[in-house]
Amino acid sequence: MSAIGIGETPKYLFSVLIYALILFPNVAEGQGGLLDELEEDVPCTAELIAEVSAFQPGLPFEVGVWVKPIPGWHGYWHSPRDGGDPPEVFWNLPDGWKISEPLFPAPERMVEPGGLIAYGYKKPFMLLFTATPPQESAEKEVKQVFLEANVTWQVCKTTCIYGESAVKLPLKSAAIAEVNPESRKSLRGWQRSVPMKKAPKGFIIEQEWVPEEGKGAIAGRWTIRWARKGNDYRPAIPVRWQVYPHALVAGLLDEAAPERWNPDPKVHNGVLSGNQVTFIVRDVGQGFHPGLLGATMVPNPGKAKGPVSGYPAFECRGEKPAERTGSD
């Protein structure tokens, strides 16, 4: 089994904060919680794993970056809502290698001090990537390479701390890829937590964008409706949905709770009931179009453990406006 590198977090962040408290003792008064938190262990580490211990040139494989807040601390999703920053991974890859964009697992809703709403993770979580080695190495005698990255993170308790962890993983080159069973099992488990990029099979999805009157496309309401086809009433497993709006580069997408949707039987024959949610979109400015909107739907089976069969988490993206032709 290949070795796994775990990054050490620089301690300068803690030193700076403690030095500031010494210089400004009035600020420190009544801040016992802050001082206690600064005395804790490094609040987060990172670890790099791969589903293979030996890679086959040209054959993609899965890679995971563990982000591990210690108990009591939490990290953030790619769209963290009112506060926090998501982790970022800055790769230093061998020549010719490629890496995908990260996939985040479905988050949970958290209420932070001051009533701020955040989307993130109260336990360690994994970012998933696909690594693709080149067909041939520039140096054909190379038998081992190192995957390296710097992982920046922010974790919070009653205070928030930024940090950085360096991770490094040696991998052998082989004619046939060699699987790391333990890492593959972990990666596949986390893959099941990643929302699907489109509506799952057996679901119907509708959406509607209504611009605010008098404001064109700089504000409006975005409604999403979804339902599972057929009669799928399961009283033993009441599935409720949590919907997480994605952040906009500019503008605000207000949080909203799902409501019951009763489909028109003339349009959706056999669909008895579904869900709908309406987001208020504000202050998006010029250049905005509904195709920039996004939300993630996450089923919550209540007290039932694990996912409910047939109810995966999935993403919904706004519809881009139709392009006008020269004859319009």
218 compared with 60, residue with greater pLDDT: 60
**Which of 54, 51, 52, 1 lies closest to 175, judged by CA?**
54
Is residue 14 predicted with pLDDT exceeding 80? Answer: no
Which of the pair, 14 or 163, is modelled with greater confidence?
A: 163
pLDDT value at residue 40: 58
pLDDT, average across residues 12-20: 38
Instruction: Give the pLDDT confidence score for residue 2 in this predicted structure.
Output: 33
Higher pLDDT, 327 or 242: 242
In this structure, whether the domain defined by 12-191 belongs to CATH 3.20.20.70 is answered with: no
- The mean per-residue pLDDT over the stretch 8-28 comes to 39
Q: Provide the 10 A C-beta neighbour count for residue 56.
A: 16
286-309, pLDDT tens digit by residue? 788 899 999 999 998 766 555 566
Mean pLDDT, range 1-13, rounded to an integer: 36
Q: What is the mean pLDDT of residues 170-193?
A: 96
Residue 142, pLDDT above cutoff 60: yes
Model pLDDT for residues 274-286, shown as the tens digit of each residue: 999 999 998 887 7
Between CA 180 and CA 325 the distance in angstroms is: 53
Residue 239 has pLDDT above 80, yes or no: no
Q: What is the pLDDT of residues 150-181, one digit of tens each?
A: 999 999 998 999 999 999 999 999 999 999 99
pLDDT at 249 (0 to 100): 82
- 58 falls in which pLDDT band (50, 70, 90)? very high
Give the pair of three-digit tokens for residue 276. 């709908």
Mean pLDDT of 121-125: 97
pLDDT(149) > 60: yes
Q: Which residue ranges make up each domain of the chain?
A: 12-191, 203-317
What pTM was estimated for this model as a whole? 0.82
Q: pLDDT grade, residue 43 (50/70/90)?
A: very high
The pLDDT of 214-218, averaged and rounded, is 66
| pLDDT given at position 31 | 46
Token pair of 206 as six digits: 């509708």
Nearest to 13, CA basis, from 125, 165, 116, 158: 165
How many Å apart are CA 37 and CA 43, to the nearest integer? 9
Residue 114 pLDDT greater than 80, yes or no: yes
**Domain 12-191 shares a fold with domain 203-317:** yes
Whether 131 shows a pLDDT value over 50: the answer reads yes
CA–CA distance, 197 with 195 (Å, rounded to integer) = 6
Q: What is the pLDDT of residue 202?
A: 85
Tell me the average pLDDT across 145-149: 97
Residue 185 — φ and ψ, nearest 5°? Answer: -60, -45
CATH domain 203-317 topology: Immunoglobulin-like (2.60.40)
256 against 22, higher pLDDT: 256
